[in-house]
Amino acid sequence: MHRLQIGIFLLLLSLPSFGASRLDTIHMPTRSAQNDRPIVVYLPDGYKDSPISETELTVADTTRYPVLFLLHGINGDEYSWIRNGNIQTIMDSLIEHHIIRPCVVVMPNTNSGKYIWGKRYKGEKRKDRDRKVKGTMLNLLGYFKNRRGNFISYFDEIEDAVYATYRLSESPQDRAIAGLSNGSMQAATIAKMHPGQYAWVGLFSPVIFDQQLPDNGEDWCSTDELPHGTRFFVSVGKADIFRSYGVTFCQKLQKEHIPYVLINGNGGHDWKVWRKDFTTFIPYVFPYSNP
């Protein structure tokens, strides 16, 4: 497994991508958070918006795409996986070289307060908007002091918004959710609240507790809609300060007979590890199949 991971990562570095994917940014008002939530959406090459007319429909126009909901960490935002994770390049390369199916990646801002890490929302006074919160510790303090609502409570609103805007598959086999660090706890919580709705749950350097464990292992096993059940992908580096959380979580999954993959490689709590392990995760989730 580790050799496959390294092989795919080296392939991405050596093979250029010429795809015409795009990134959309939408601002979705939420009832529970009481403000607009920015969402960045990766759309693969070949994705088309509404067709010109019904008579000009093609297979590409009617395709419903697999979807991955990808969450950032506690000091990130909706562009973290793009800016630091190089997701657009990785996805373009994997799709172009027929390693994964074309799919959509939804990256919402999961911060639930009126701050987005030092940036004020539009509509507030200029003097307030210009007062930036700088530094990780100040960001954390500002986040907990000013947070309103809870990301978990308005995730359904985010999901409804992207399904209303884009052609996404509703089949559980075509749906996955993942997050890094604090985002992994959010991803696992959402998956727990909606058993059987996601084929894969990806946890990168998870900060995770017993509260995120599935209530009943049988609910996560094979069903008609999910023949292989829901599977967890857990990535931890040997030097990661939160390594014990991920390893312990896998031990508990094993006790509940819930299938999982554990990538326990070198590295710490950083983007070098997350980028590399993402290239292993996504081929598990949406492997390429010949048409």
CATH number for the domain spanning 32: value is 3.40.50.1820
**Number of compact structural domains in the chain:** 1
Tokens of 163: 């399904």
Q: What is the pLDDT of residues 219-263, one digit of tens each?
A: 788 888 888 889 999 999 999 999 999 999 999 999 988 999 999
Please report which confidence band the pLDDT of residue 8 belongs to, taking 50, 70 and 90 as the band edges.
Answer: low
- Does a structural domain hold residue 21? yes
- Does a structural domain hold residue 204? yes
Parallel, antiparallel, or unpaired: how do β-strands 200-204 and 104-108 relate? unpaired
Beta strands in the chain (DSSP E): 22-29, 36-43, 67-71, 104-108, 115-116, 119-120, 175-180, 200-204, 231-237, 260-265
* Distance of alpha carbon 154 from alpha carbon 110, whole angstroms: 9
Q: What is the pLDDT of residues 31-55, one digit of tens each?
A: 655 567 789 999 999 998 755 455 5
* Distance of alpha carbon 285 from alpha carbon 199, whole angstroms: 8
Q: What is the pLDDT of residue 157?
A: 85
- Does a structural domain hold residue 97? yes
Q: What is the pLDDT of residue 199?
A: 95
Reduced to 3 states, what is the DSSP secondary structure of residue 268? coil
Residue 158 has pLDDT above 80, yes or no: yes
Percent over 90 (pLDDT), the chain: 52
Range of weakest confidence among 3-12, 76-85, 136-145, 183-192: 136-145
- Does a structural domain hold residue 129? no
Q: What is the pLDDT of residue 35?
A: 63
- Does a structural domain hold residue 120? no
Domain containing 25 equals: 2-112+148-285
Q: What is the pTM of this model?
A: 0.82
Q: What is the DSSP letter of 18?
A: -
* Distance of alpha carbon 143 from alpha carbon 281, whole angstroms: 30
